[in-house]
Structure 1
Amino acid sequence: MDIVGIERESFDSFKQKLERLAELSKNQPSTESLSIEQEWIEGKELACSLNVKPRYLQSLRERGKLAFSTIGKKIYYRINDVKALIEKGKPK
C-alpha cells in the first residue's frame, strides 16, 4: 500500500469539489430512468417476447412500419414504437 501526502489546503479543496459533485449527482435523474435497456430492445429478444420470427420484424422494417437502429450487426427497436404498432393493429 502506498501512502501519498498532500497539503491540507489541497485536500480540503479536493474534498469540497467531491462534495459538490455528490450534491449535483443527487439532483440528476436516476440512471434507471435513462437506461437504454428501458427504451430499446434487441431484435432477437423482441422476436422471442412477441413470439414471432426475426424475419417478420425484418419485413416490418422493410415496409417502413417499424423504425430501428443498427449497432454493429445487432438491430434495436424502440419499445414505444413497438407498443404503438401493436396498439395500431388491435381491432377496435
Structure 2
Amino acid sequence: MEIICIEKQTFEELRVRFCAFEQRVARVCRPVEDLGLKNWLDNQEVCEVLRINKKTLQAYRAKGVLPFSRIKNKLFYKPEDIQRLLELNYHPLIKNKS
C-alpha cells in the first residue's frame, strides 16, 4: 500500500471541491420535485367532483366563477380552486330557536 502525504490546506481544498461536486451530482440525480402538476384536474374530473355537466362548467368559466388554465384545447383546474368554490358556496344549516 502506498501512502501519499499532502498539506492540510490542499486536503481541505480537495474536500470542499469534492463536497460541492457531490451536491451537484445529488441535484442532477434527484427525481424532479412534484410542483403540484399531478394534482391539476381536467374537465371530466371537475364535473365528477362537483357533480355538474360540461355546460355548467363552461358557464362557471365564462362567468369567472372558476379559474382555469388552457393548453391548446385542454383545460385544467387547481384542486384548491375547486375547494374554494365549494367553501364560498357553503350554506350551513340554521336551527330555529323554539
Any idea what SS the aligned residue of 1:31 has? Answer: coil
How many residues are matched? 73
Query: Normalized per residue, which structure has more helix?
Result: 1
In structure 2, the gaps of 5 or more residues are 1-17, 93-98
- 1:90 aligns to what? 90
Give the drift of 1:23. Answer: 3.7
Letter in structure 2 aligned against 1:53: N
In the alignment, the residues of structure 2 paired with residue 75 and residue 81 of structure 1 have an alpha-carbon distance, to the nearest angstrom, of 14
Mark the structure with the bigger radius of gyration.
2
The one of 17, 22, 37 aligned to 1:19: 22
CA distance in 2, matches of 1:91, 1:60: 19
The CA RMSD measured in Å over matched residues stands at 2.6
Q: Which residue of 1 aligns with 2:75?
A: 75
Structure 1 gap ranges (5+):
1-15
**TM-score of the two chains, using structure 1 as the length reference:** 0.63
For the residues of structure 1 that align with 2:48 and 2:64, how far apart are their CA atoms?
Answer: 21
CA displacement, residues 1-54 of structure 1 (integer Å, 9 cap, x when unaligned): xxxxxxxxxxxxxxx57632244469x8x724x23022x211111112322111
- Counterpart Cα distance in 2 of 1:76 and 1:63: 16
Query: What TM-score comes out, normalization by structure 2 length?
Result: 0.60
Runs of 4+ that moved beyond 3 A:
22-26
